[in-house]
C-alpha cells in the first residue's frame, strides 16, 4: 500500500507526485510556464498540455521531455490512443 502514487497537475505549471498509501507529497516538478490543462500518464510516459502553448511528452520521472510541440494558442486537452502505429 505504501507504493501507491498519483500525479496531479496545477495551475502554476507544476505536477505534484503524491503517495496516497503514505498520505504524503513526494515531489513537485515545475514543467510549464502556464497552467497545466491536461495530464495523461500511461505505461512509461506522461503527456502535459499547458496554457504556455506547449504539449510535452515526458518519462514518468519528469527528468526531461522526450518531445514538445508548440501551438499558436494554449493547449486545452488532447487524446491519445494505443495501436495507432500498427
Domain boundaries, the chain: 5-70
Indicate if the pLDDT at residue 17 is higher than 80.
Answer: yes
- Is pLDDT at 84 greater than 60 in this prediction? no
Instruction: Read off the DSSP letter of residue 3.
Output: T
pLDDT tens per residue, range 35-78: 999 999 988 899 999 999 999 999 999 999 999 999 999 999 88
Which CATH class for the 5-70 domain?
mainly beta
pLDDT level of residue 2 (50, 70, 90 thresholds) = low
- pTM for the full model? 0.86
41-75: burial string, b at 16+ Cβ within 10 Å, e else: eeeeebbbbbbbbbbbbbeeebeebeeeeeeeeeb
Q: What are 56-68's pLDDT values in tens digits?
A: 999 999 999 999 9
Amino acid at each position: 500500500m505504501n507504493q501507491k502514487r498519483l500525479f496531479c497537475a496545477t495551475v502554476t505549471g507544476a505536477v505534484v507526485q503524491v503517495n496516497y498509501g503514505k498520505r504524503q507529497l513526494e515531489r513537485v516538478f515545475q514543467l510549464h510556464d502556464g497552467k497545466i490543462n491536461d495530464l495523461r500518464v500511461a505505461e512509461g510516459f506522461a503527456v502535459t498540455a499547458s496554457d504556455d502553448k506547449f504539449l510535452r511528452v515526458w518519462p514518468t520521472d519528469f527528468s526531461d521531455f522526450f518531445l514538445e510541440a508548440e501551438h499558436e494558442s494554449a493547449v486545452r486537452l488532447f487524446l491519445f490512443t494505443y495501436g495507432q502505429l500498427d
